[in-house]
């Protein structure tokens, strides 16, 4: 007792301090989606959810409740309430133990700023710091710091975080009863936690309301109404969505960023995760353990969905690895960019390229996925069916340095090695790239060759490096897009009913790396782009799961959902592109003698001057022959693709005006026309076509 009185006298005699301490604590980062839905909250450096706000945004009821409960003479004392100290000392002496405290709001703030042992001399320093605070700050500034730094349990720090956690409202919106509840928790956030001890918390709340009434802060009517307010506390569920995306975004933000409105759409994010898990469940016997997907808004480059793995918490399959940014070989997914560059030179969609066994410089000898050669094929069919040898021929003409420069211009920063490191294999995906880079490059095709950096957040704006730039011509980008959207052109390799076929205009491409370690599927419309990866993060090969059977079903389901959520128009040809009637066999502008013609696109000024004379169809001068399949072709069924999706195109060099009669091993097929489709089955076959009073016959084999 004598020591405490002596301490009080000493404090009264000390000279008044001249300054106050500044508190610097960065707020907790909160990331929202594009519509304001909370996505993820981060802890502050204090390991709390800390959301500082100005005093003007804190309910006056909370100020009055705290003053009534903790420091009724706050507005008149100078930091230490000497009367309260003497009263507490007397009460404690009579009781023989500590039954009453005398810390003012300013002293409590001093304790938060500089925690000290609860000893006599610790209390003395705390009191001295309180005097310093009062000297250097106004009462309003003290209250603002006090209500922002107080901890209210459950990792909440400050009135704003506490109001959102316990009541789902801002600190400004607190009712009288809610304010009394929070003020009551100041004494002991654990004991008076309304989510764990509702009855004890309610008694404490009512006690604070009574003190507010006794001090004249509320009248009898308000007091009675507040007493009757039910204890409605529903602790908030703190969101932890899109963990790979938010982790990446947070790494790009400047320090002390509080609120970030990202480009993400929570609805799409949730659905994308569900689709991935559904597809992986179907592939569990094929050694496919993971997948990733990213969806972009083509106009802005904004990320609409970003799923880095099937399950962030799956340690067995490295769920925390970010598949959107992991380096992987894209396989055939880079082919469209090679063709786009080729179309800016001497190539055009209907032009023929010979798919044959070829040795390229350095002994490079690529093979097609199906193990066969297809003879003369149009660039359209070669790209749509993803034949390897034709694209390498295009790459050889364009030049690997030019291809690499264009890919880097499209955002493939991961392709950092020199051109001779990759060689012609770059056209087949020999370099490692990120799924996010791949998605944005395809979005550039959708934008007519215009690259834009990926945008992750709207406020503050967070995007990738660089600015918009025209990398490919709008005309060549459209030619590629038109091919990738041509379901008939890819049917020979993928069938008419593959997962790439959707009931709206979408360009799509798959890619499978060597030994089935990774597969990709990318699809885009004028409005959005989806890129999907499937595989294993440890690099283990899948069991013959290709892009069309692994990643493409995810792309299909996501695309159908996207079209409902963000409807997209059809593709339109830009200026500088013209549609020309060409011979279906030679690819040249059709002449009078061409039996079968179709429309195809050309860049204006690059339409071949030579017209087809109709005599190119075969070397014997016949007017009709079977041009697909070729004689003695060997095909192999793909066990990873549904049998009903594996079809073979039968095509004759005849006019569509007169139907052809087709016979397979002597049996007449029900379909008629110069082009028909047959669902393949294993065996050796003889195919005969009778068209325009002429007959041709070839043989081919299908391996199981």
Q: What is the pLDDT of residues 456-470, one digit of tens each?
A: 999 899 998 889 999
Cβ contacts of residue 362 below 8 Å, gap of 6+? 423
Q: For residue 10, give every residue at least 6 positions away whose Cβ sits within 8 Å of its Cβ, in sequence order, or none.
A: 124
Q: Is the peptide bond before 629 cis (omega within 30 degrees of 0)?
A: yes
Q: What are 603's strand-pairing partners? A: 577
Closest CA to 521 of 513, 311, 157: 513
What pairs with residue 457 in β-bridges?
A: 262, 462
Buried b vs exposed e over 296-316: b needs ≥16 C-beta within 10 Å?
Answer: bbbeebbbbbbbbbbbbeeee
**Distance, CA of 103 to CA of 121 (rounded, Å):** 14
Which residues face 40 on adjacent strands?
Answer: 31, 240
Q: Which domains are present in the chain?
A: 2-33+44-228 (1.10.3810.10), 266-565 (3.40.710.10), 576-616 (no CATH), 626-703 (2.60.40.10)
Ramachandran assignment for 306, one of left (phi > 0), alpha (psi -120 to 50 degrees), beta (any other): beta
Residue carrying structure tokens 């199906």: 370
Check residue 15 and give its pLDDT: 41
What distance in Å separates the CA atoms of residue 394 and residue 622, rounded to the nearest whole number?
31
Per-residue pLDDT at 97: 41
pLDDT of 292: 98
Can you read off the two tokens belonging to residue 105?
Answer: 């709001």
Closest CA to 103 of 124, 75, 132: 124
SS3 459: strand
The whole-angstrom separation of Cα 428 and Cα 331 is: 5
DSSP H or E stretch at residue 7: helix 2-13
Count Cα neighbours of 126 within 13 Å in the Cβ-side half-sphere.
22
Q: What is the pLDDT of residue 436?
A: 98
What was the pLDDT predicted at 675?
84
CB 159 within 8 A of CB 63: no
3-state SS assignment for residue 680: coil
Low-confidence ranges of the chain (pLDDT < 70): 1-24, 83-102, 116-122, 547, 615-623, 655-658, 692
* Residue whose C-alpha is closest to residue 630's, from 543, 576, 584, 697: 697
- DSSP string computed for 495-561: -TTSTT--SS--EEEEEE-GGGSEEEEEEE-SSEEEEEEEE-TT-PPPSS--TTTTTHHHHHHHHHH
> Of the candidates 614, 508, 491, 633, which has an alpha carbon nearest to the alpha carbon of residue 560?
508
| H-helix segments, 546-690 | 552-565
- pLDDT attached to residue 116: 67
pLDDT at 100: 42
Task: Give me the half-sphere count of Cα atoms (radius 13 Å) on the Cβ side of residue 472.
Answer: 36
Residue 205 three-state SS: helix
């Amino acid at each position: 007792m004598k020591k405490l009185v002596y301490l009080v006298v000493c404090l009264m005699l000390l000279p008044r301090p001249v300054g106050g301490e500044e508190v610097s604590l960065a707020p907790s980062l909160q990331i929202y989606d594009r519509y304001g839905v909370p996505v993820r909250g981060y802890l502050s450096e204090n390991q709390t959810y800390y959301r500082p706000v100005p005093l003007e945004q804190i309910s006056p009821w909370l100020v009055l409740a705290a003053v009534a409960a903790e420091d009724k003479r706050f507005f008149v004392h100078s930091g230490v309430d000497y009367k309260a100290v003497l009263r507490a000392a007397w009460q404690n002496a009579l009781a023989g133990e500590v039954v009453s405290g005398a810390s003012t709001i300013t002293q409590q703030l001093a304790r938060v700023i500089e925690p000290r042992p609860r000893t006599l001399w610790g209390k003395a320093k705390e009191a001295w710091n309180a005097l310093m605070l009062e000297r250097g700050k106004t009462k309003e500034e003290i209250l603002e710091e006090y209500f922002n730094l107080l901890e209210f349990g459950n990792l909440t720090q400050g009135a704003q975080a506490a109001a959102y956690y316990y009541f789902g409202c801002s600190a400004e919106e607190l009712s009288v009863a809610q304010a009394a509840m929070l003020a009551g928790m100041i004494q002991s956030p654990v004991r008076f936690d309304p989510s764990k001890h509702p009855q004890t918390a309610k008694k404490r709340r009512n006690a604070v309301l009574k003190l507010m009434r006794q001090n004249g802060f509320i009248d009898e009517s308000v007091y009675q109404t507040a007493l009757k307010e039910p204890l409605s506390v529903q602790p908030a569920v703190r969101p932890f969505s899109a963990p790979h995306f938010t982790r990446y975004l947070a790494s790009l933000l400047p320090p002390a960023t509080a609120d970030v409105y990202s480009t993400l759409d929570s609805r799409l994010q949730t659905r994308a995760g569900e689709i991935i898990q559904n597809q992986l469940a179907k592939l569990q016997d094929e050694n496919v353990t993971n997948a990733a997907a990213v969806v972009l808004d083509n106009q802005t480059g904004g990320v609409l969905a970003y799923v880095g793995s099937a399950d962030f918490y799956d340690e067995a399959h490295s769920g925390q690895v970010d598949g959107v940014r992991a380096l992987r070989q894209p396989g055939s997914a880079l082919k469209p960019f090679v063709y786009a560059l080729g179309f800016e030179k001497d190539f055009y969609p209907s032009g023929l390229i010979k798919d044959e066994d070829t040795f390229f410089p350095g002994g490079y000898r690529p093979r097609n996925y199906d193990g066969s050669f297809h003879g003369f094929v149009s660039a359209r069919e070669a790209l749509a069916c993803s034949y390897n040898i034709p694209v390498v021929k295009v790459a050889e003409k364009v030049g690997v340095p030019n291809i690499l420069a264009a890919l880097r211009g499209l955002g493939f920063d991961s392709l950092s090695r020199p051109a001779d490191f990759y060689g012609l294999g770059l056209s087949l995906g020999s370099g490692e790239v990120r799924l996010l880079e791949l998605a944005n490059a395809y979005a550039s095709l959708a934008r007519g060759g215009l690259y834009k950096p990926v945008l992750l957040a709207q406020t503050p704006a967070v995007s990738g490096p660089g600015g918009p730039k025209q990398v490919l011509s709008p005309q060549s980008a459209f030619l590629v897009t038109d091919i990738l959207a041509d379901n008939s052109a890819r049917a020979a390799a993928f069938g008419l009913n593959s997962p790439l076929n959707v009931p709206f205009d979408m360009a799509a491409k798959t890619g499978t790396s060597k030994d089935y370690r990774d597969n990709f599927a990318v699809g885009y419309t004028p409005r959005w782009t989806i890129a999907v990866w499937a595989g294993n993060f440890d690099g283990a090969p899948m069991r013959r799961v290709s892009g069309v059977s692994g990643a493409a079903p995810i792309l299909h389901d996501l695309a159908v959902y996207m079209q409902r959520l963000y409807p997209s128009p059809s593709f339109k040809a830009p200026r500088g592109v013209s549609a020309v009637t060409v011979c279906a066999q030679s690819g040249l502008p059709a002449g009078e003698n061409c039996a079968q013609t179709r429309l195809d696109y050309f860049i204006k000024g690059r339409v071949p001057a030579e017209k087809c004379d109709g005599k190119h169809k075969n070397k014997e001068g016949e007017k009709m022959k079977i041009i697909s399949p070729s004689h003695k072709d060997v095909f192999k069924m793909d066990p990873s693709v549904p049998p009903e999706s594996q079809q073979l195109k039968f095509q004759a060099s005849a006019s569509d005006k007169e139907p052809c009669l087709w016979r397979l091993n002597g049996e007449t097929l029900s379909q008629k026309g110069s082009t028909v489709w047959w669902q393949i089955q294993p065996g050796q076959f003889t195919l005969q076509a009778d068209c325009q009073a002429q007959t041709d016959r070839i043989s081919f084999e299908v391996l199981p």
